[in-house]
Amino acid sequence: MKLKKNEQTQIKKIQKLLKPYPIPVLKIYPHSFCSRDDLTYGLIRLSQGKRLVVQGETGKVRKDPFKGKNRHHGKTTLKVCDLSPENTACLMDLFPYTRPVSLREYPITAGTGDRLGCATPGHLWAVRRFPVRPVLAQQSVRENKQTGRCFSGVVSDAAWAVFQENYQEGYGADGDHLKTFAEIEEALNAGVSMVTLDLSEKLNFSAFTDSTEAIDRHFKNEIHEEEAKVFFHLFLNKEFRFKGPPGEFSIRFDEESVKRNALLFYKAIDFTEEVYEFLQSHLVSRRIVDFEISIDETPFSTSPANHLFFIIELGQRGIRIDALAPRFIGEFQKGIDYKGDLAEFRRQFYQHAMIAMDHGNYKISIHSGSDKFSVFPIMGELAGKGLHLKTAGTSWLEAMRLIAKRFPSLYREMHQYALSIFHEATRLYHVTTDLWKIPRIEGIKDRDLPKYLDQDDSRQLVHLTYGYLLNAKGPDGKHLFRDRFFQTLTDYEEEYWALLDKHIGKHLASLGLKKMKIFK
């Protein structure tokens, strides 16, 4: 990567500062260097990994709270510190912008989900160019299992990346797809500023499919009489009208649809209320936690009427949310463009957005948002006042693009392995990947390998097998790919970040967000 002139001057200054001390510095992260109370702080890379350095007069360095090893020169000291949990806590105290915060007040936010723990600088390069705020840490329990990480590690990686890039605008950290109190507590203890509650296990999907008679019976048996009265009072034969520049529409509930929606949601609503109270009682005094509800991982799409029913009932109980992730019509498969009827998508998306605007002005959250380029302009146009876009897998794919470019033989090995375990890996997902459409890798020239990351089927092949690829071990118990994979990402990290800058930037530009001038 070519450095800008002012960066070169900055690096020279830092080199001069570090020169008297006997440490073999491989790399300096110039944007991280700053002064606080006569001490200089900054990030460097040694052969063992990234380190924080603290430099200044010996007496002052001694008083500084970071834990590390001291090297002396005359009356000065250079302290070299690990990025340990203890030091992360110090970082957040001394540089409060490295602590995740609520992004409630920002209309457009982007969840960039850094699965690998080394993508965030690239995400920051991209979001800096647009009027958005990033949710940099964003992992689900499932993702953490696949990558062998935990919530606190995820938040701490984001915090150090924020420090590295000197990003002081504020960022969020999302405990994504949390399903139980234990998971929520773990994420909150790790410092997340956002909880995404996944209600998929609390929804009763037979409410979509049961016969009218069965619905009547279940409603009578399962819904308490008092509660049933409230449902009918709120919804039966009421007409909810919405009006915006793109048009008017109304939603009406007859008796059957009240019953179906009640059966679909009643457990989910009770659970949401418990979680909401938990969040209020535990945290409001200490910090604001953004609250998103996800109902996207369901076998049926969320109709605007479902959405309206659910949100009115939440409002009735005094529950305020910051975002809702419906399951949209059509297909939002991982890492590839939208499949479905664009006109119908537009119609329904508009209705979802209007409902959200009229019932609490929360954001519509787009999950599996990676690479949905054909629907981004619609989303940007119609939900301009409240949108949260989540991507994650696409940054893993860009990492694999880098591997294909820089370490072709490793890419070949990983690709072949992915083919061999694909069917096992995709049990959890709905995908239409056709492995037969992926050209055999044997005849492909090295320079053409990155093209695999442009074709839908091979994108999905590599996308859905990420956990398997990272965890694969040989007969000797050693990782097959992991070490070489991460080493390559480290060796070419600037190139990786540049790929992400371009690719995430393309997502944000497709939403219709205008680029901003950056002043560093």
> Minimum Å distance from CB 49 to Zn ion?
32
DSSP 104-154: TT-SEEEE---SSSS-HHHHHHHHTTTT-EEEEEEEEHHHHHHHT--HHHH
**131 in Cβ contact with 514 (< 8 Å):** yes
Question: In this chain, which stretch among 49-57, 67-75, 236-244, 292-300 interacts with Zn ion, using CB under 5 A?
Answer: 292-300
Residue burial 336-345, b: 16+ Cβ < 10 Å; e: rest:
bebeeeeeeb
Do β-strands 49-57 and 76-81 pair in parallel, antiparallel, or remain unpaired? antiparallel
- CA gap 378, 347 in Å, rounded: 10
DSSP 299-353: SS---HHHHHHHHHHHHHTT---SEEEPPPSSB--TTS--BS-HHHHHHHHHHHH
- CA gap 291, 279 in Å, rounded: 9
x-or-dash string of contact with Zn ion, 242-281, rule CB under 5 A: ----------------------------------------
Among 317, 304, 292, CA closest to 358: 304
What residues between 296 and 355 interact with Zn ion by CB under 5 A? 296
Residue 183 near Zn ion by CB under 5 A = no
Quickly count: other Cβ atoms within 10 Å of residue 495's Cβ.
Answer: 17
Catalytic residue among 165, 174, 183, 292: 292
| 367, 405, 415, 503: which one binds Zn ion (CB under 5 A) | 367
> Minimum Å distance from CB 296 to Zn ion?
4
Catalytic residue among 176, 290, 313, 398: 176
Q: For Zn ion, which is the closer residue by CB, 32 or 306?
A: 306
Residue 143 near Zn ion by CB under 5 A = no
176 is catalytic: yes
> Minimum Å distance from CB 329 to Zn ion?
16
Residue 174 near Zn ion by CB under 5 A = no
Question: In this chain, which stretch among 2-10, 123-131, 206-214, 291-299 interacts with Zn ion, using CB under 5 A?
Answer: 291-299
Question: In this chain, which stretch among 22-30, 61-69, 348-356, 366-374 interacts with Zn ion, using CB under 5 A?
Answer: 366-374
Six token digits for residue 156 = 């701490």
Do β-strands 247-252 and 239-244 pair in parallel, antiparallel, or remain unpaired? antiparallel
Helix intervals (H) in 359-492:
376-382, 393-406, 408-425, 456-464, 466-471, 482-491
Residue 46's DSSP bridge partners are: 49
Do β-strands 27-36 and 39-46 pair in parallel, antiparallel, or remain unpaired? antiparallel
Contacts of 333 (CB under 8 A, 6+ apart): 339, 368, 429, 430, 431, 432, 460
57 is catalytic: no
Among 353, 150, 116, 160, CA closest to 244: 353
Q: For Zn ion, which is the closer residue by CB, 367 or 463?
A: 367
User: How many residues sit in the footprint of Zn ion (CB under 5 A)?
Assistant: 2
> Minimum Å distance from CB 294 to Zn ion?
5
x-or-dash string of contact with Zn ion, 452-491, rule CB under 5 A: ----------------------------------------
Residues that bind Zn ion (CB under 5 A): 296, 367
Catalytic sites, residue numbers:
176, 292
